[in-house]
Chain A
Amino acid sequence: MSSQDIPEENLPSEQGTAHGAVSVADEKHPFADPGLPPHEHRIQDIDERAARRSERAVALLFTLSMLATVGFIVSYVAIPHDKDIFVFPIGHLSALNFALGLTLGVALFCIGAGAVHWARTLMSDVEVADDRHAIAAPEDVRAKVHADFKQGAKESALGRRKLIRNTMFGALALVPLSGVMLLRDLGPLPGDKLRHTMWAKGKRLVNMNTNLPLRPSDVAVGSLTFAKPDGLEETDEDFQTQIAKAALMIVRLQPDNIKDKRELDWSHEGIVAFSKICTHVGCPISLYEQQTHHVLCPCHQSTFDLSDGARVIFGPAGHALPQLHIGVDDEGYLQALGDFEEPVGPAFWERG
């Protein structure tokens, strides 16, 4: 038995024939197809005891599956849905999810393993050959089909009665237009909606986190503050759509550090307000580097220099972040002095 475990080709060949001499079945055509190799018996084919062992293994797997299903039902009933367990080395898991998944997985896997083991050890493993047939039809079939088609086409008179043909094509070409028309109301036309945000002259800048209007003294040098226009509340029906355009980020720079003249003009005591929406594809920008005054979009890594008109210094964004002209109102709160002068967010054809 032990020598049969090693395939023939791994054994060292006999010294006499090993070097140079060759014994090939077909001396004339050494590369010819020798045909299907003879079937090699498995242990189960010749030893009934081994076959019974395989049978028991398959039955055991199917039994395990049944037990696992019982385990699934028990887990479903017994384990509270908010219980956590610690499983090394994975960590904390929902106990219910863990138990249900494991029992279901074992129940399914054992059915599969049993079936495959059955097929591999007990079903016939004799390889047989089946003939292939050409996919293309034989010539007479081909001729018949062509003739039939010509006959049918002729009887329809489609080629002869051009008026019918042309009007039919016309009708078929037009009728899908109704379907296209029906798509019109999928949405309103863009108009100039992408050009305007909620910001307007006199709108106060409200801190996104505290929901309180901002004073210049609330904005420290080196900090990054997010703001929304006064009057926009989370409970508003169009909050998501409005904040998608109006989200603002505020930083305070030393006025000497501001390189861009317009940026300086539109700032207040070094406080500058820029659109938070990236000009690349619209992610909210949220990473601020105090020392360099760079902001980085975490989605595609476009980097903008807030001390230089928020121009792009790295990454795929195509233009600078729009700046909001800000000032202070009578009561000392930061306010917008108008809407953004250019559209916020990703560029589009009509942006210009």
Chain B
Amino acid sequence: MSTSATNESRSRGKAPAGERVADWADGRLGIYSLAKANMRKIFPDHWSFMLGEVCMYSFIIIILTGVYLTLFFHPSMNEVQYHGSYVPLQGQMMSEAFSSTLHISFDVRGGLLIRQIHHWAALIFIAGMFVHMMRVFFTGAFRKPREVNWLFGFLLLVLGMFTGFTGYSLPDDLLSGTGVRFMEGAVLSVPIVGTYLSFFLFGGEFPGGDFVARFYSIHILLLPGIMLGLMVAHLILVFYHKHTQFAGPGKTNNNVVGMPLLPVYMAKAGGFFFLVFGVIAVIAAIAQINPIWAMGPYRPDQVSTGAQPDWYMGFSEGLIRFMPGWEINLWGHTLVLGVFIPLVIFPLVLVAIAVYPFIESWVTGDTREHHILDRPRNAPTRTAFGVAWMTVYFTLLIGGGNDLWATHFNLSINAVTWFVRIFVFVGPVLTFLATKRICLGLQRRDKDKVLHGRETGIIKRLPHGEFIEVHEPLSQEQLHTLTAHEQYTPAEIGPAVDENGVERKVKGAEKLRAKLSRAYFDEDSQIPKPTVEEYKEITSGHGHH
């Protein structure tokens, strides 16, 4: 179309086609008001901000591949004889769920690829959520106004774990069936109602003929439906709050510095979806996952060694493995503490990290909005708590694979188990203390850098023979960045007498809060950041440090 023709059509009041479609949509959906705030929305740039994107994209990949798999998978436990193309299992009795999974893996072209993409994406999804959560935790991005979004993210992690569990149980293979049996044993341990729960869950005795169909509707409809809703809410809040940013020149708590959604982040984030998908596809091409044909169909009287859940369930496996076999028999009833205690601790481990933002905001009493991220070193107690929590988590993960540690590293399984039993209590204390020291050390280093400049590595000999290292002063940008963080002062318990001079009762919660506040912010827990006076005093004197 020539330019003159375009001008002609414009002059007749006819806009280009795209504009006309947009006008049409705006008249019905009000998209212009929405786009006004969001089309050129500014997003700050930092590598750690893409961790959440990894999760979102792997979730989309899981949905896409999952829909494909439902076209071929039969969620039925009817026993059939296998006649497919995988020779070693021909003639064997197995559930339809298992045989249809074999069909997907061996007879549907590309079926194995999609299965493996689905499984790998699920592992990456949950690992991504875990790392993303740690990023948010250690930089304090969960602070007001983002506490609710933190909880949304936490729920996504928990639901993701259970969606994963119900998903890998569907093929009804020997490994996953063993996992389901473990779950049944755990449910049975619940006092009073355990057997009823188990019978309702399995439609009678284990394994029965119902659980694959039931897990199927939970796995493909119930949980992902909730997760999709949470994910959308999570994203809406990210847009609404605007993204956090690290301190730096020009970056304040009242602005957001970065590049606009259109075009830069549209291209970068949109492209990143393809990068994630591409990488997962290549992994699925070369790295086999969950080869159910090698494990065979589930039989309650058979098991293989080295039985492991997918990694995200490993810490619950650790809980159940390190627990002593306590059982109390009283008045004709059994309290199965050896299984029930792990079952209770399992959610508590997760809840401990989920409620942390609320505890911290209670201790600081800070009700302001925070959009500038903390460097982990500048919040030593928080960082130390996070590392202690991770120590518990990873110790339990080691406990969950105690047999593999024993066989791969030639260790005694009893020794590994005893190590986990002890270290799960001692480890977090040690790492808490060590992390705090490291954070304080790094704070001192920052302070030193601000006051004395950067070590250049250049050794200079003075006229009288002394050797000194040349320190280069920092630029104002660097000085600002290193001193931009806020430091709280410990909260005091208010006056012991009220305004009338009458002695007032100090509540226990108030005392606890003051105590925690001291633990967070007294001189043993943070290095006072350099003041301008200190800086001037040091930098004004020539020739000495």
A residues near B (Cβ < 8 Å) are 9, 12-13, 15, 17-26, 29-37, 76, 81-82, 87, 90, 93-94, 96-102, 104-116, 118-120, 123-132, 134-135, 183, 186-190, 193-194, 208, 226, 228, 234-235, 237, 239-241, 243-245, 247, 276-277, 280-284, 286-287, 298-302, 312, 314-319, 345-352
Contacts and interface: CB of A to CB of B under 8 A. Distances in A.
A36 B250 contact: yes
B285 A100 contact: yes
Interface stretch (B25-33, B196-204, B487-495): B196-204
Contact of B281 (A22, A105, A312, A317): A105
Given A113-B271, A316-B321, A31 B284 contact: no
Interface stretch (B184-192, B351-359, B505-513): B184-192
Given A101-B281, A116-B272, A301-B417, A351 B543 contact: no
Contacts of A82: 85, 106
15 contacts: A13-B456, A15-B460, A19-B468, A24-B479, A81-B85, A81-B107, A94-B112, A105-B278, A107-B278, A129-B256, A132-B242, A132-B254, A187-B199, A244-B301, A348-B194
Interface of B: 41-42, 79, 85, 93, 106-107, 109-110, 112-113, 116-117, 145, 178, 181-182, 184-186, 188-196, 198-208, 210, 240-242, 249-260, 263-265, 267-268, 270-282, 284-288, 298-307, 320-327, 329, 332-336, 338-339, 369, 371, 402-403, 413-414, 417, 450, 453-454, 456, 458, 460, 468, 470-473, 475-477, 479-480, 483-484, 532, 535-536, 539, 541-544
Contacts of A280: 185, 320, 325, 338-339
Contacts of B109: 76, 81, 96, 100
Contacts of A107: 278
A352 B271 contact: no
Given A33-B250, A234-B93, A314-B414, A123 B263 contact: yes
B338 A316 contact: yes
Contact of B326 (A123, A234, A277, A318): A318
A347 B476 contact: no
Contacts of A32: 476, 480
B259 A187 contact: no
Contact of B263 (A90, A119, A317): A119
- Shortest 5 CB-CB distances between A and B: which pairs? A101-B285, A281-B185, A109-B278, A115-B271, A112-B274
Contacts of B322: 316
Contacts of A317: 325, 338
Nearest to B535: A30
B476 A299 contact: no
Contacts of B145: 135
B66 to A, nearest CB: 17
Contacts of B41: 130
B300 A243 contact: yes
A5 to B, nearest CB: 19
Nearest to B274: A112
Contacts of A127: 250, 257-259
Contacts of A188: 199, 204
A235 B286 contact: no
A302 B185 CA distance: 14
Nearest to A82: B85
A242 to B, nearest CB: 9
B57 to A, nearest CB: 10
Contacts of B532: 29-31
| Chain B interface, >50% SS class | mixed
Given A13-B456, A94-B112, A116-B271, A282 B185 contact: yes
A347 to B, nearest CB: 4
Q: Interface centre among B298, B320, B339, by most A CB within 10 Å?
A: B339
A312 B288 CA distance: 37
Contact of B477 (A20, A37, A134, A277): A37
Given A119-B268, A123-B264, A190 B199 contact: yes
Given A31-B483, A318-B327, 6 more contacts: A100-B113, A109-B282, A127-B258, A128-B42, A316-B323, A319-B325
A282 B182 contact: yes
A227 to B, nearest CB: 10
Contacts of B110: 76, 96-97, 100
Given A187-B202, A298-B306, A318-B327, A33 B182 contact: no
Contacts of B541: 20
A23 B93 contact: no
A65 B402 CA distance: 44
Contact of B188 (A113, A299, A348): A348
Nearest to B41: A130
B195 A349 contact: yes
Contacts of A302: 325
B181 A18 contact: no
B333 to A, nearest CB: 6
B285 A102 contact: yes
Nearest to A87: B286
A187 B203 contact: yes
A124 B259 CA distance: 8
Given A22-B473, A104-B113, A352-B334, A116 B207 contact: no
B255 A187 contact: no
Contact of B274 (A101, A108, A312): A108
Q: Interface centre among A21, A128, A286, A317, by most B CB within 10 Å?
A: A128
A298 B302 CA distance: 11
Given A20-B541, A20-B543, A111-B274, A186 B201 contact: yes
A124 B182 contact: no
B113 A97 contact: yes
A187 B454 CA distance: 71
Given A19-B543, A112-B273, A298 B202 contact: no
A34 B417 CA distance: 56
Q: Interface centre among B188, B256, B258, B536, by most A CB within 10 Å?
A: B188
A135 B541 CA distance: 47
A184 B293 CA distance: 37
A245 B184 CA distance: 13
Contact of B195 (A119, A129, A350): A350
B285 A19 contact: no
B299 to A, nearest CB: 7
A97 to B, nearest CB: 5
B448 to A, nearest CB: 15
Given A234-B93, A284-B301, A346 B278 contact: no
A228 B273 CA distance: 53
Contacts of B369: 134-135
Nearest to B472: A13
A24 B321 contact: no
A102 B198 CA distance: 44
A36 B184 CA distance: 59
Given A118-B267, A130-B242, A106 B255 contact: no
B182 A348 contact: no
